[in-house]
Structure 1
Amino acid sequence: MSEKIFFGFCANNGIGKVPDLLSAVQQADRDGLDLVSMFDHPYVGDYLDTYATLGFTLGATQRITGFANVTNLATRPAPMLARTLTSLSALSGGRVVLGVGAGFQWDRISDMGVPRLSPSDAVNAFEEAIVLIRKLSGGGPAVTYEGKHYRVNQIDPAPVAAPLVWTGSAGPKSLAVTGRVADGWLPPLIADWLSERYRTSRPIIDEAAASVGRDPGEIRTIYNFPGRITDRPLAVTRDEDNRWIGGSVGQWVDELTGAVLEHGAAGFNFAEPSGFVEDLTVLSRWATEIVPAVREAVAKEEAGRAAG
């Protein structure tokens, strides 16, 4: 494949799921998946802290990369988030991605004592955070940064490369931020390449990228993609709203291969309909049956196109 296609899964980081979580991530690591993601809702007491859990699971694995899907930025000040990310990267050999958004569920965020930001200020803080996290990575001279929301004075950047940045942008202003400064986009509300959200949002990202001299193709789209894996083909694989339901292994392979080749999809973060993958048999089918077949089909098609 000309560019890496990411395949991952969404793990349940509930406090009551600790043994299952570690088993799932270690199995995915052995089976060759690229990513494990976890939700970041620090106002929910039943969930483990996402970054503590990522550190724990990365320490128990060898290859898989972890990310928050997406980081609750308002509760994690950007300079400290930069230190968390570069530390995780140094400890794991670079196996971390920054998934981040401008903010969601502000009522609950403000209940934690975090000052509530207007939608406009939240987007500004979102962009400043990405810029500052990059400045505090990669070594070099001390950083002084004077933004509206973040300010640091003569802080040494960590001698560790900045992680990839994937955003969960939804509104026009945050989508434009994605185009200007991010590496990837995770369409919210499990929208996929056939959705109205994708059709109306992706051009905003592309236009913003071009406006600052970036190639829009640099910003890749990675989808949260839940569904059922069935033993037999389904008569219909999408519902009345055109959302993916699932299907047999062959139906999954056809759908995802088409998404890569026809729509430029850069990755898929699999979940069961519950929003997580908790059944290790289902996780194994995703990792050992569907993912290798998609990789093979894409590589074969790309080789055929290259040969003319």
Structure 2
Amino acid sequence: MTDYGHDLMFGIFTTPTVQPVRHAVDLAVLADRVGLDLVTFQDHPYQPSFHDTWTLLSYVAARTDRVHLSANVLNLPLRHPAVVARSAASLDLLSGGRFELGIGAGALWDGIAAMGGRRLSPGQAITALGEAVHLIRELWAVDKPGGVRLEGEHYRLDGAGRGPAPAHPVNVWLGAYQPRMLRLTARIADGWLPSLSYLPGGTADLAGMNEQIDASATAAGRNPAEVRRMLNVSGRFAPSGRAQFDGPPVQWAEELAGLTLKDGVSAFILAADDPATVEIFAAEVAPATRELVAAERNTVQR
């Protein structure tokens, strides 16, 4: 059993649908009002039925006051990392330090190629992601001398000026599933952000994947707890329990608390496009989960 001790975070993963035109915005405003910690949107620039994610994030930042914002996850192959670095810093500054950088190597390569992006092999995509994260952090590092120079396999900078610096230390969260991506996450990321629906064995897969991250982080000289474990979840609220994440809010709270205490997950992001579901998650599930985790942690500390 592994509990990395992080404070819990609760958020939503909302479809950035174009129609109704402000549906995603309204859900984000609701999440802000009911006290959730995070609002995220998927990023598929080749999908014409979705809003552009950067534009949506910027618009939502202006419509909200306290909630943090992130892509879930940003499509690197169609977004140059030098531009991402400056865009992220600007949005973080303008929002008062509320932006986090969820980013991925890319997956739907037919759509990426249709938009003019390069079709990369899995290995090339992972190398490109590692270069991109390094490049982004270098551009944020305004206290270092000189411009940023990088001669990578996929990205090249020749003395690019540093800055602007974000308003706060922006977290870099990687979506990762395969061993090489997990090793990269362990070496360079602030958080691991998978979707439960993509894990063939469901929550049973988390233990083995956590072990891979822990071992790679230790080998890289990092404390494994430096990598926050996050999870996109989906399900429904029902009067009685039928299955995992299919039951009353108290069941959800028990299941989420178990994932924190057993598998170290400390950020739960609910895939939801229904306002009532968002309100239940914020008003009933999040506080109950926090209480259960706090009680168990207090017991262990005694």
Fold conserved between structures, TM > 0.5: yes
Contact 1:54-1:67 within 8 A present in 2 as well: yes
2:176 match: secondary structure: coil
Aligned to 1:198: 206
Aligned to 2:183: 176
1:149 match: secondary structure: coil
| CA drift at 1:3 | 2.3
Aligned to 1:248: 248
Aligned to 2:158: 153
Contact 1:205-1:216 within 8 A present in 2 as well: yes
CA–CA distance in structure 1, aligned partners of residues 198 and 208 of structure 2: 11
Aligned to 1:71: 74
What amino acid sits opposite 2:156 in the alignment?
A: R
Gaps of 5+ in 2: none
1:294 and 2:289 matched: yes
Aligned to 2:232: 224
| CA drift at 1:197 | 3.7
| CA drift at 1:301 | 2.3
Aligned to 1:261: 261
| CA drift at 1:194 | 5.3
Contact 1:29-1:62 within 8 A present in 2 as well: yes
1:8 and 2:11 matched: yes
After superposing the two structures, state which structure 1 stretch, 104-113 or 16-25, moved more: 16-25
Which residue of 61, 65, 69 corresponds with 1:62? 65
Q: Which runs of 4+ in 1 moved over 4 A?
A: 191-194
Distance 1:103 1:189, change over 3 A: farther
| CA drift at 1:293 | 1.3
Aligned to 2:149: 144
Contact 2:210-2:263 within 8 A present in 1 as well: no
Task: Calculate the TM-score normalised by the size of structure 1.
Answer: 0.90
Aligned to 2:277: 282
Aligned residues: 294
CA–CA distance in structure 2, aligned partners of residues 21 and 114 of structure 1: 27
Contact 1:191-1:198 within 8 A present in 2 as well: no
CA–CA distance in structure 1, aligned partners of residues 21 and 97 of structure 2: 24
CA–CA distance in structure 1, aligned partners of residues 210 and 123 of structure 2: 20
Contact 2:245-2:255 within 8 A present in 1 as well: no
| CA drift at 1:36 | 0.7
Contact 2:6-2:228 within 8 A present in 1 as well: no
| CA drift at 1:116 | 1.3
Question: CA-to-partner distance for each residue in 1:50-77, whole Å, 9 max, x for gaps?
Answer: 1110110011101111111111100001
CA–CA distance in structure 2, aligned partners of residues 157 and 180 of structure 1: 23
What amino acid sits opposite 1:166 in the alignment?
A: W
**What is the percentage of aligned positions where both structures have the same residue?**
37
| CA drift at 1:196 | 4.8
Contact 1:97-1:163 within 8 A present in 2 as well: yes
Which residue of 210, 219, 228 corresponds with 2:218? 210
1:93 and 2:96 matched: yes
| CA drift at 1:265 | 1.0
Distance 1:189 1:250, change over 3 A: closer
Question: CA-to-partner distance for each residue in 1:96-117, whole Å, 9 max, x for gaps?
Answer: 1111111101111111111211
What amino acid sits opposite 1:260 in the alignment?
A: T
Contact 1:6-1:268 within 8 A present in 2 as well: yes
Contact 1:137-1:162 within 8 A present in 2 as well: no
Question: CA-to-partner distance for each residue in 1:219-278, whole Å, 9 max, x for gaps?
Answer: 121110101011x222x32xxxxxx3421011011111111122211111012xxxxx22
CA–CA distance in structure 1, aligned partners of residues 150 and 69 of structure 2: 28
Gaps of 5+ in 1: 238-243, 272-276
Contact 2:245-2:251 within 8 A present in 1 as well: no
Question: CA-to-partner distance for each residue in 1:109-162, whole Å, 9 max, x for gaps?
Answer: 111111211221111001011111111114123222221111112222222255
Contact 2:245-2:252 within 8 A present in 1 as well: no
Distance 1:194 1:107, change over 3 A: closer
Task: Calculate the TM-score normalised by the size of structure 2.
Answer: 0.92
Distance 1:258 1:200, change over 3 A: closer
Aligned to 2:174: 167
| CA drift at 1:279 | 1.9
What's the C-alpha RMSD, in Å, of the aligned pairs?
A: 1.8
